[in-house]
């Protein structure tokens, strides 16, 4: 059959129209069902005292009581917020710049740069739960590498003075690789003529990077910012495998989980915290979307 030139939707055969319709409707339904229904469901549940057993109709609407209880009388909540902020701070101020630094180094085509790239990116392939186990071998109080070498007796994962930082080191180890890869892709995309022009104008390496290359990578920066914020909000697996987010490792996500999925089953109460997380991350997602749409226009 000879190919005809496409002249708009009216020109499509009825089969094509069905296909197009399906391609639009099926993903929409999937998104509604898998993303929006649970999200809206959590928000609605957060106003009830549902215990997760039996029909939802048995739940009582109790207004904002869950939210009020979370912020006033639930002791792990504020430490959890604080830990999430520390998590964000460390990822943003230490891990992300370090990832950028590694990307810049690797972008210079040094010998064996592929090997370094692979080595640094490798942890990203591992799940955070696995990262937790790997570092357990290093941190363990009685058998761990650190204590074996130094002869110390610090319980890195158990002692609440250290465990947050120990966990952050493990999380950063993984985060650095991720950021490195994002920036490496960004750096490859920077037009080399820009650098040459800067060189001709007599700018040194440093000035070229901060004044020319970095601003050009603005879209990548926005992605990295959002990725970092979201990573720190959804930090969960690592601390969960360490000690279920108790004893100095409280995070909002672990509190949500221990309230909802545990034997406790305080679905409403946990949903209230989940809703707070949703709101915080929505702010950053909204900023990001606004930014990208502005770019495209």
Residue among 103, 123, 155, 217 that touches other proteins (CB under 8 A): 155
Cβ distance to other proteins smaller for residue 141 or 195: 141
Phi then psi for 17, rounded to 5 degrees? -65, -40
Distance CA 74, CA 81 (A): 12
Q: Which one of 28-36, 186-194, 244-252, 280-288 is the stretch in contact with other proteins (CB under 8 A)?
A: 244-252
Q: Does 240 bind other proteins (CB under 8 A)?
A: no
Phi then psi for 251, rounded to 5 degrees? -135, 160
Burial profile 20-43: b = 16 or more Cβ within 10 angstroms, e = fewer: eeeeeeeeeeeeeeeeeeeeeebe
Residues numbered 37 to 76 that lie near other proteins (CB under 8 A) are 49, 51-54, 60, 62, 65, 69, 72-76
Cβ distance to other proteins smaller for residue 77 or 87: 77
Q: Does 80 bind other proteins (CB under 8 A)?
A: no
Cβ distance to other proteins smaller for residue 135 or 157: 157
Sequence-separated (6 or more) residues with CB below 8 Å from residue 106: 113, 116, 117, 120, 180, 184
Phi then psi for 48, rounded to 5 degrees? -120, 175
Cβ distance to other proteins smaller for residue 68 or 199: 68
Q: Does 107 bind other proteins (CB under 8 A)?
A: no
Residues numbered 248 to 277 that lie near other proteins (CB under 8 A) are 248, 258-259, 261-266, 269
C-alpha dist (Å) from residue 68 to 51, 62, 65, 77, 281? 18, 11, 5, 12, 21
Helix (H), strand (E), coil (C) string for 96-133: HHHHHHHHHHHCCCCCCHHHHHHHHHHHHHCCHHHHHH
Task: Give least dist CB 62 to other proteins, A.
Answer: 7
Question: Are residues 267 and 52 in contact, defined by beta-carbon separation less than 8 angstroms?
Answer: yes
Q: Does 146 bind other proteins (CB under 8 A)?
A: no
- Residue 170: how many CB atoms within 10 A of its CB? 25
Cβ distance to other proteins smaller for residue 243 or 281: 243
In 3D space, the residue among 208, 231, 195, 218 whose CA is nearest the CA of residue 294 turns out to be 218
Site string for other proteins, 160-199 (x = CB under 8 A): x---------------------------------------
Residue among 113, 117, 136, 247 that touches other proteins (CB under 8 A): 247
Residues that bind other proteins (CB under 8 A): 49, 51-54, 60, 62, 65, 69, 72-76, 141, 155, 157-160, 243, 246-248, 258-259, 261-266, 269
């Amino acid at each position: 059959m000879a190919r005809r030139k496409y002249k708009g939707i009216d020109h499509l055969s009825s089969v094509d129209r069905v296909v197009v319709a399906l391609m639009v409707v099926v993903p929409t339904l999937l998104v509604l069902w898998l993303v929006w229904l649970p999200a809206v469901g959590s928000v609605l549940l957060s106003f009830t005292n549902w215990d997760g057993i039996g029909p939802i109709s048995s739940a009582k609407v109790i207004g904002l009581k869950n939210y009020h209880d979370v912020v006033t009388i639930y002791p792990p909540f504020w430490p959890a917020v604080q830990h999430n902020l520390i998590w964000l701070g460390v990822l943003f101020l230490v891990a992300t710049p370090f990832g950028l630094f590694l990307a810049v180094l690797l972008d210079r085509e040094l010998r064996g740069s592929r090997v370094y790239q692979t080595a640094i990116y490798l942890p990203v392939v591992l799940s955070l739960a696995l990262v937790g186990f790997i570092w357990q071998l290093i941190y363990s109080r009685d058998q761990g590498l650190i204590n074996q070498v130094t002869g110390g007796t610090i319980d890195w994962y158990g002692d609440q003075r250290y465990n947050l930082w120990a966990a952050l080191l493990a999380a950063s180890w993984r985060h650095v690789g991720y950021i490195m890869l994002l920036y490496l892709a960004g750096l490859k995309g920077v037009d080399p003529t820009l650098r040459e022009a800067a060189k001709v104008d007599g700018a040194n390496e440093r000035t070229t990077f901060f004044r020319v290359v970095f601003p050009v990578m603005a879209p990548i920066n926005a992605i990295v910012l959002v990725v970092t914020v979201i990573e720190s909000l959804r930090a969960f697996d690592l601390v969960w495998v360490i000690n279920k987010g108790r004893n100095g490792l409280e995070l909002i996500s672990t509190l949500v989980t221990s309230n909802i999925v545990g034997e406790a089953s305080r679905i409403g109460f946990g949903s209230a915290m989940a809703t707070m997380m949703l709101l915080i991350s929505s702010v950053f997602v909204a900023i990001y979307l606004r930014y990208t749409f502005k770019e495209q226009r």
